[in-house]
Amino acid sequence: MRRRDFITLLGGAAAAWPLAAHAQQGERVPRIGVLIAPASNALGQAWANAFRQELARLGWTEGRNVAIDLRWGEGRSERYAEIAADFVRLKVDVIVTSATPPTVAAIKESSTIPIVFTSTGDPVGAGLVASLARPGGNVTGVSSQITDLASKRVGLLRDLVPALRRLGVLVNTGNAVSMLEMRQVEVAAKVLGLEVAALEVRRAEEIAPAFEPLKGPALGLYVIADPLMNSSAFRINTLALSARLPSIFSFRELVEIGGLVSYGPDNADQYRRAATYVDKILRGAKPGDLPVEQTTKFDLTINLTTAKALGLTVPPTLLTLADEVFE
C-alpha cells in the first residue's frame, strides 16, 4: 500500500474510532426506542426516515453503532402505554415520542430513561416539562406550538370560504392539548362571527358518525392535530369531500392526501431536530439541561385539486403566500 493511501485510510478510521468504540470493546450498542403516534403510513414513514437520516449524519449508523426500535401507535391511546412499557423492559437508552399522549405514557413508565418528544403543542401546559428553558427531570424535545396557531387557521379557512358561517371542529377529547386548541378555535371563531360545532371523538370508529351534524351550506371543517386524527386522515378527507366540506389541518401531509389547506410546522424537520437531542444525550448530556426548542417556521399548503372539487376559487394572494401547492 502506498504511504499516501495508508494515511488517508488511517484518517478515515480515526474519525470512526470514537463512534465504533462500543462494538470494538464488546460493550452494549446504544438502543433508541421510537414511538411514532400514527400508523405506519406515508406520514409516519416520512418522519421516521427524517430521524434516521439525521442520526446517520451525526455519526450514528443503525446496525453498526446504534439500534433503533421503531414502533407505531396507530393513533390508539392504549398502544402508547404498551409500547412505552416495552421500551422500559428492553432498557432502551432513549425514548423518542411524537405528540403529547405518547409522551405522557412514556413519562408514566419511566422517570429515569431520557425522553425526547416532538410535535407537542404546549409541553409546559401539558405538564411534560417544568419550563422551556429548564425542562428538568428526564424529558426535553421540540414543541410545535400548535395551539398558538388556531386563530391563523380559522382566518385562513375564512379567506378560502368567504361565506363561511358555521365551523365544525373535529377534536379528540381524550387529548388535553387538543382541548386547549379547541378553546383557542372557539375564541377565534367568535371574533369572526362564526358558529362552532364541536365534533367530539375518542376512537376511530366515532369519526364517521361525528360528521352527521355537519349538513347544509356555509360550512367548514377544522381538524385539530392529534395522533388519532393523523392515523385517520384518509378517512377524514374522504368524509369531508363527500360532505363537500372545506377542511383545514395542521400538517402538509394531510393536504397531500386530499385535505384543502394546512398551516403548521414541518414534522419531518422536528424529527431531525429530535435526532440532535438524541445525539447529545448519547454523548453524555442530561435531558433536563437541554432547553426545549420551539418551532419558528410554519408552512402554508394548499391542494388546488381539492379546491376545484369543492367549487372553490383560491385567492391569488393565498397562492402567492403558499409554501407548497398540490395540483
Structure confidence by residue, pLDDT tens digits, 7-31? 444 444 333 334 444 444 457 899 9
C-beta separation of 160 from 215 below 8 A: no
pTM (two decimals): 0.80
Q: Which three cell numbers stand for residue 60?
A: 450514528
- Which pLDDT tens digit goes with each residue over 233-285? 889 999 999 999 999 999 888 899 899 999 998 888 999 999 999 999 999 99
- Which pLDDT tens digit goes with each residue over 177-227? 889 899 999 999 999 999 999 999 999 999 999 998 887 777 999 999 888
User: What confidence score (pLDDT) does residue 7 get?
Assistant: 40
CATH fold of the domain at 147-264+299-326: Rossmann fold (3.40.50)
For the ranges 105-109, 161-165, 250-254, 303-307, which has the lowest average pLDDT? 250-254
- If one counts every other C-beta atom within 10 angstroms of the C-beta of residue 195, the result is 13
Paired strand residues for 146: none
> Which CATH architecture describes the domain 22-145+267-294?
3-Layer(aba) Sandwich (3.40)
For the chain, the domains span: 22-145+267-294, 147-264+299-326
Domains 22-145+267-294 and 147-264+299-326 share a fold: yes
DSSP 229-274: HHHTHHHHHHHHHHTT--EEES-HHHHHTT-SEEEE--HHHHHHHH
- If one counts every other C-beta atom within 10 angstroms of the C-beta of residue 191, the result is 10
